[in-house]
Structures are given as C-alpha cells and as structure tokens.
C-alpha cells in the first residue's frame, strides 16, 4: 500500500494478534534488585510507571540488575492509543540523490575546483565510526565515502578535536563544509556540542562560515535551526546522501544548464 493510500488510515500496535494494541518498552530505574524484597519493589515500580504511560495491564517480563543500585526492565502490555497516519509528520529529503559521477561533474561545472570538506568528532567523543563511515573510502552500507569522490578533498581530523581547533583548521583548509559526528549523547552532550560549534564558527567567520553539518544516532533532522547548523543527519545516513546534499547546497546547477 502506497503512502497516499495509507493517508487517513488509523492503526494500533501489533503484539500477539492484529489490532491488540500491545507494545514492549524498556527502561532503567535507580532501584536495586539484589534481594527478593528489593526485586519485588523494583518490579512494582516498573509496572506502576508503565501504567502511568498508558500500558495497562503492564507485565514485567524481564528484570536485570545493572550494578548494585539500578535495574533494567522490559515491560509488555496493551495501550489504548491509536495512530492516525494523516497526522504523521515525515521529514522529506529536499534534494535528489546523485551518483558519484554526477556529483563530481556538478562540482567541476559549478565550482571549477575541489569542494573541501573537513570532518571530526569534538570534545570528549572518541567515536570515529560515524565520521569515518561518511568520509573514508571504505564508506558505509555498500557506498564509498567522500574520499572516493575525485572532486572532493577530505580533511579528516579524527576524534576529540577541540572546537577552537576545528574552527582554526577548517579555516586553514578553506573548508566549504564542516561535518561533525557525535555519538556520545549522555546529558545531551551532542546537543551542547552542536550549539558550541555553531556559536564558534559564527563568532569567527560570521556569514562567511562554512556549511555546518552534524550527525549521529540521537540527532533529530528537524533540529537544525534550533542548533544553529545548516543540516542534521540522523541514523542510517549514507555517504551518497551527504555528498548529494553538499552538492545541492554548495554547487547548484548552473543556470544555463537548468532544465
């Protein structure tokens, strides 16, 4: 069934049988469960929390101690809530996906030079898997990274780069775009880092700052304006998608070639 055919359809979750409304949720509570009495109290608290969330009756189907003071739970049960597909908001990609050859061709015709991309993770984030998946030749999901594009020059700074250093090195490289991947999300560290990056580049370069792109598994693509960046990519993003966005934004089709 197409998206258009789904519009206006009301659905409910599926658990054991169609339309039973059953869901499974997991969470951690700051309660010990080492003794029988502690476990009973912790499971009762988990069931109460789930009931307040609309899962009723709530069944605690799994409980596991996470150290001496915390317990992880999986709770299963039905909810009465429905989903009206007509009210679902979906972020649409506003640019076409392009092949490697088309990306390179567009950069040559629109810029007449290499497009320079600087990438890094910042602060205490030591996870490079995200930025490497987009930048390195080996790429991700069967697609080669931006280093494989003949018309893109990649400067991969690696992990734990100070924001001030990122600004300086992007300036030295004459970066057209800066890509930052953030995997560490505790206490909204990724949100704070994105805002710090935006503020630092704006202070240093003003309107002449490079295109700022951030990404990671906990980012919401709708947050770009709030974070002060140009684009946010979430989980599942591929190198081709990033390359197509960069070209769409930084190397638009010359007017004489527009359809």
Residue 202, pLDDT above cutoff 50? yes
Q: Are 38 and 24 in contact (CB under 8 A)?
A: no
Q: How confident is the model at residue 128 (pLDDT cuts 50, 70, 90)?
A: confident
Q: What is the mean pLDDT of residues 202-225?
A: 90
Residue 82 in this model has a pLDDT that exceeds 50: yes
Mean of pLDDT values over 101-122: 96
Residues in CB range of 51: below 8 A, 6 or more apart: 57, 58
Cα 236 to Cα 59, 133, 240: the distances in Å are 32, 11, 12
Task: Go through the domains of the chain in sequence order and give each one's CATH number.
Answer: 10-86 (3.30.30.60), 100-254 (3.40.50.280)
Instruction: Name the DSSP class of 32.
Output: -
Q: Give the pLDDT of residue 91.
A: 74
Q: Is 138 a catalytic residue?
A: yes
Q: Among 52, 138, 144, 192, which one carries the catalytic annotation?
A: 138
Give the pLDDT band of residue 190 (cuts 50, 70, 90): confident
**Alpha-carbon span 65 to 125, nearest angstrom:** 27
Q: In the chain, what percentage of residues exceed pLDDT 70?
A: 94
pLDDT of residue 110 exceeding 80: yes
Give residue 259's pLDDT band: very low, low, confident or very high (50, 70, 90): very low
**Taking 80 as the threshold, does the pLDDT of residue 104 lie above it?**
yes
* In 63-162, alpha helices (H): 100-110, 129-135
How far apart CA 90 and CA 70 sit, in angstroms, is 36
Whether pLDDT at 164 is above 50: yes
pLDDT at 255: 66
Whether 9 has a pLDDT exceeding 50, the answer reads yes
* Residue 173 binned pLDDT confidence (cut-offs 50, 70, 90): very high
> Is residue 232 packed enough to be buried (19+ CB in 10 Å), middle (13-18) or exposed (0-12)?
buried
pTM over 0.75: yes
Q: pLDDT tens digits, residue range 22-71? A: 999 999 999 999 999 999 999 999 999 999 999 999 999 999 999 999 99
Can you give the pLDDT at residue 257? 55
Q: How far is residue 102's CA from residue 99's CA, in Å, rounded to a whole number?
A: 5
State mean pLDDT over 64-91.
92
């Amino acid at each position: 069934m197409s998206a258009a055919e789904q519009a206006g359809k009301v659905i409910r979750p599926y658990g054991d049988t169609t339309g039973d409304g059953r869901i499974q949720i997991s969470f951690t509570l700051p309660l010990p469960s080492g003794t029988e009495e502690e476990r009973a109290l912790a499971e009762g608290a988990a069931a109460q929390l789930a009931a307040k969330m609309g899962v009723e009756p709530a069944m605690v189907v799994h409980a596991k101690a996470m150290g001496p003071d915390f317990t992880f739970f999986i709770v299963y049960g039905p909810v009465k809530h429905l989903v009206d597909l007509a009210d679902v908001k979906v972020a649409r990609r506003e640019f076409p996906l392009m092949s490697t050859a088309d990306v390179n061709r567009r950069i040559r015709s629109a810029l007449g030079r290499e497009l320079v991309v600087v990438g890094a993770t910042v602060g205490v984030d030591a996870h490079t898997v995200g930025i490497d998946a987009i930048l390195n030749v080996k790429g991700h999901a069967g697609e080669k990274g931006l280093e494989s594009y003949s018309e893109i020059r990649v400067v991969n700074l690696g992990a734990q780069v100070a924001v001030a250093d990122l600004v300086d090195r992007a300036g030295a490289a004459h970066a057209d775009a800066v890509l930052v991947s953030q995997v560490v999300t505790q206490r909204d560290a990724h949100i704070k880092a994105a805002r710090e990056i935006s503020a630092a580049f704006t202070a240093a370069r003003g309107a002449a700052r490079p295109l700022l792109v951030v990404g990671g598994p906990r980012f919401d693509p709708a947050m770009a304006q709030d974070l002060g960046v140009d684009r946010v990519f979430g989980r599942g993003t591929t190198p081709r998608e990033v390359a197509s966005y960069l070209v769409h934004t930084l190397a638009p089709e010359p007017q004489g070639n527009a359809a």
